[in-house]
């Protein structure tokens, strides 16, 4: 029997760690990472306990794959307060609107998947995909808005990419070992992209957009492959999106550099 979960249950979990997020906003750097890490862990444990209590007993990887998206979204919302602090109020407002949209998609998508409404599973997966992409965008922005050493950026981007890929591939019929291998490949691939783009003339918006497009292409192709839907037309569609996106980014970069 599929577990029953009301979206308000997940909302309660997110609200329960609000004091930790508040503490992260007042604690000076770099110690603010401690309450952020505690908030992320508490969100993951609480979410999995509500969704799949049996996962907490033995399967650590399954626990991580089911809890990473809500936990990372929570951290993204907290980090956006620091990342957009020097910016105009509308920038912070836009970041939080995107985060709230991602939260809504996450709540509805998780709920539909858990009650096993077969006719809506495809729509729920798309909701979770969009929530993951918005979360990745917010975290990439936070990592590049806050001046961090290169090693921290590489570790942050690769961790975000790996955890979100593991969660997104968890809704495919692939075995756990294959999902872990693919998540590791995506993580290492984006880490190499961060290292390569660090030596370009400009970092910032260009790098964030490049990472987000790369993350979308990798996870989209992997999900289609693992669901046995990787037809030539699907490959051409992703290739077209990639080519157009990278040409547009390169043109914009060249225009900025004069």
User: What tens digit of pLDDT does each residue of 183-198 get?
Assistant: 999 999 999 988 888 8
Share of the chain above pLDDT 90, in %: 14
pTM for the model: 0.76
Report d(CA 187, CA 165) in Å as an integer.
Answer: 8
| Three-state SS at 231 | coil
Who's near 156: CB < 8 A, 6+ residues apart? 139, 143, 148
Instruction: Tell me: pLDDT of 132 over 60.
Output: yes
Reported as a single tens digit per residue, the pLDDT across 34-78 is 666 666 666 655 655 555 555 445 555 555 666 677 778 777 777
Instruction: Tell me: pLDDT of 245 over 80.
Output: yes
């Amino acid at each position: 029997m599929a577990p029953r979960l009301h979206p308000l249950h997940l909302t309660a979990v997110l609200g329960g760690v609000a004091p930790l997020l508040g503490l992260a906003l007042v604690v000076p750097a770099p110690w603010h990472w401690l309450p952020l890490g505690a908030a992320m862990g508490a969100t993951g444990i609480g979410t999995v306990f509500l969704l799949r209590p049996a996962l907490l007993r033995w399967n650590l990887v399954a626990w991580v794959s089911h809890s990473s998206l809500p936990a990372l979204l929570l951290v993204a919302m907290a980090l956006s307060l620091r990342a957009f602090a020097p910016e105009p109020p509308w920038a912070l407002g836009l970041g939080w609107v995107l985060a709230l949209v991602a939260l809504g998609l996450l709540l509805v998508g998780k709920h539909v998947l858990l009650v096993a409404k077969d006719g809506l599973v495809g729509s729920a997966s798309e909701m979770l995909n969009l929530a993951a992409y918005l979360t990745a965008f917010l975290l990439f922005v936070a990592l590049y808005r806050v001046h961090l050493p290169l090693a921290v950026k590489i570790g942050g981007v690769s961790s975000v990419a790996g955890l979100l890929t593991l969660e997104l591939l968890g809704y495919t019929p692939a075995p756990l070992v294959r999902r872990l291998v693919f998540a590791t490949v995506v993580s290492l691939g984006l880490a190499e992209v961060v290292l390569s783009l660090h030596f370009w003339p400009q970092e910032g918006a260009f790098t964030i957009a490049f990472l987000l497009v790369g993350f979308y292409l990798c996870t989209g192709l992997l999900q289609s492959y693992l669901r046995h839907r990787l037809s030539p037309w699907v490959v051409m569609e992703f290739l077209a999106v990639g080519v157009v996106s990278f040409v547009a980014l390169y043109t914009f970069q060249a225009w900025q550099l004069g």
